[in-house]
Amino acid sequence: MPIHTILMIEDDRFIGEMYVRSLKKAGYDVTWMVDGNDGLIAARNKTYDVILMDVMLPERRGNDILEALRGKEDLIPKSKVIVLTNFEQDDESRMAMEKHADGYLIKAEITPSKLIDIIAQLDKTE
Amino acid sequence: MKKSSGLAHDFWPRFRTGAILIVLGVELLILLLTAAVLLYFEIFENNLLLAIAILVGQAVLGILSTTIIMLYAVQPTKHLLAAIIHISGEPTNLTPPNPNDPRYANNGFKEVLQTLYELDSRRQNIDAPTSAGPAVVPTTDPLRLALDTTDCGFVVMDHTRHITYANRAAPVNIGEDGKGSLQLIFNGQDNLASWLDECDKTAVHSEKTWSRVPDRLPDAEGRRFFDVIVSYNKGATAETVIALVDRTKLYEIGEGELDFIAFAAHELRGPITVIRGYVDVLQGELEQYLQPDQKELFHRLTVSANRLSGYVNNILNTSRYDRRHLVLHLSEQTMLSIYNLISDDMALRASAQNRLLNVNIPTDLPTIAADPSSLSEVMGNLIDNAIKYSNEGGSIFVKAEPKGDMVEFSVTDQGIGMPSNVIGNLFQKFYRSHRSRETVAGTGIGLYVSKGIVESHGGTISVRSEEGRGSTFMVDIPTYASVAEKLKAGDNNTGLIDQGRGWIKNHSMYRS
């Protein structure tokens, strides 16, 4: 099934709006959550094709969300997770997140069009 | 008074030549005398062949005895001289003789050398007024007690670099074989082992200090930091004495700075993300309405935002490297695939600043063991410099080619170049040449951190430059084939290669 629905958990308004705008223009159905708790609840309630997740989030950090979703058992087997962060994590935390994620990107290193390319690539590897 | 300007090592060639000439001369004289006697008394008149045989035999014996004489009489002189030359501090490429050499132990020369070296250390003690002897000579027990009470570590090693003494505070690991090993994490090539190698070759007495050396990896429980002071005395029972001053309290504060830098980078990257993102979005959406000069302005915006983000990475990497936090994930890569990570950005950067970028990276080069994002940052730094230090309209050549067990990536510009006195300092932190300070923007961490990254790959970075003609920076990275075994053997606890992701835990940064 091709990727269509995207859940984005991102607290920065400018960055969030920018990605939502571009992803919608590219034809995706985007749900945007601003804090970590709401993000986790949304991810549990509905199956998304892709989850874009920040690390430094209010209420609940990205690594905790990922741990809750994929730590003990995989609650989201049908979703792809891309960690999108600008925070330079220490190596251990980063590796821990990479273990449970399908991608790990530094936001400052990519543009919205690059992000769309990457999602399209995930689609191909499906 | 006229002072002789001769050096001690000038004596050796003269002495050797003299010795050889005298001995050979005497041999020849004896040979001639024998021949004369044989002829005069007509002893072998009827058997000329026997006479010649005797003479030849004598000549052979002569050569043999010359060799033995040289070995026993002249060789010790050479070694004595070498020791004296080293003590005097004269420049030399002679190896100072090691008293622990087994041949010296047998013939008693060991004692001679030890006496000589001890005399020298006594002289040095007198020279240094601060190192006054203790008022009371302590017996062993109180001394040991005191050493075990202090927070400073003391370690003594013999000439085979086995630890013969370590006090309680010393960061020493006792292995299964009962042998201790020093637990210190040096940064790259500048480590104790390589310094001792150097001492073995060239020094009699030497001392060196390293600061901020941790004993464990970041985040390990009870991690300590030391300033390490090492003294080396060739041939002494305690050849290497290491004093470790525990500076954990002082440097721990610095460790917090990494957090600060990580948070600062996070704050900087937020706006960069938005600028880069919207420039990209706007350029795409406005493409058909933009005039050529307006498109050029967009290119400049993109290039500037990209450079900003590269610069944040340089800061982060420098901070990590300085604190031994830089860990690379080496995996099998090609130069081309790594360059492709930044190729678009570089092409735009060059064209926006009116430089011609010529890239020639063949597809069939051997694979290398590399961390893609770090190595691409190095490439970006070198190309950035080539743009900065060359002239408008100039060409920049980016090349890769095999070189033994390495693949060499090089960046050549036809810019202003550098005088040789600048090159020596080029890879130092915050170094900016006098001229570049005035004319070119920058901070002087790009090459410093590039060197750190390249050396952490087990590679080398070097430069060739001619003033007014341009510079070439060369980065040599080991081929994957040459290090694959080492990478697989380097780490036992994680299985090292996680096939799914191709991560390889690299410990080259953590060699002690």
The complex's ipTM works out to: 0.89
Q: Exposed e or buried b for every residue in B319-337, given b needs 16+ CB within 10 A?
A: bbbbbbbbbbbbbbbbbee
- Which residues of chain A form beta strands (DSSP E)? 5-9, 29-33, 50-53, 80-85, 103-106
Look up the CATH number of the domain holding residue B399: 3.30.565.10
d(CA B96, nearest CA chain A) in Å: 45
pLDDT score, position B134: 43
Residue A58 CA to residue B149 CA, distance in Å, equals 48
Say how far apart CA B267 and CA B258 lie, in whole Å: 14
Quick one: B369 and B459 in the same domain? yes
For the cut 60, the answer to whether the pLDDT of residue B173 exceeds it is yes
Instruction: Judge if B367 and B470 occupy the same domain.
Output: yes
Residues 6+ apart with CB under 8 A from B8: B81, B84, B85, B88, B90
CATH number of the domain that residue A74 is part of = 3.40.50.2300
Which residue out of B216, B266, B507 would a mutagenesis test of the A interface target, given it has the greatest number of A Cβ atoms within 10 Å? B266
Identify the band that residue B318 occupies on the pLDDT scale cut at 50, 70 and 90.
confident
CB contact under 8 A, B274 and A98: no
Spatial separation of the C-alpha atoms in residues B92 and B108, rounded to whole Å: 26
pLDDT at B247: 86
* B38 and B154, same domain (yes or no): no
Q: Which residues pair with A52 in a beta bridge?
A: A8, A82
Which pLDDT value is given to residue B187? Answer: 73
End of a domain among B65, B94, B123?
B94
Q: Hey, are the CB atoms on B278 and A98 less than 8 Å from each other?
A: no
B327-367 pLDDT, tens digit each = 778 889 999 999 998 998 899 999 988 999 999 999 999 99
- Mean residue pLDDT across chain A: 89
Distance from the Cα of A107 to chain B's closest Cα (Å) equals 6
Domain of B213, CATH number, reads 3.30.450.20
The domain total for chain B is 3
Domain hosting B219: range is 140-248
pLDDT given for residue B237 in this prediction: 83
* pLDDT the model gives residue B340: 92
Mean pLDDT value across residues A53-82: 90
Across the strands, what pairs with B97? none
pLDDT at B375: 93
Q: Could you tell me if B467 and B415 are in contact, meaning their C-beta atoms sit under 8 angstroms apart?
A: no
**Is B343 an 8 Å CB contact of chain A?**
no
Match 């730590």 to its residue by tokens: A71
pLDDT class for B386, splitting at 50, 70, 90?
very high
Of B94, B109, B130, which residue is a domain's last?
B94
Chain A environment of B279 (Cβ under 8 Å): 111
Q: Which of B332-346, B355-369, B435-449, B486-500 has the lowest mean pLDDT?
A: B486-500
* Minimum-distance CB partner of B309 among A88, A108, A113: A108
User: pLDDT for B88-145, tens place per residue?
Assistant: 777 777 777 777 777 777 777 888 887 877 777 666 655 444 434 444 444 567 888 8
Mean pLDDT of B382-391: 90
In a domain, A118, yes or no: no
Contact in structure between B65 and B97 (CB atoms under 8 Å): no
* Domain final residue, candidates B248, B279, B296: B248
Nearest Cα residue in chain B from A23: B281
Residue B500: its pLDDT value, please? 29
- The answer to whether B218 faces chain A, any CB pair under 8 Å, is yes
Q: How many CB pairs under 8 A join A and B?
A: 65
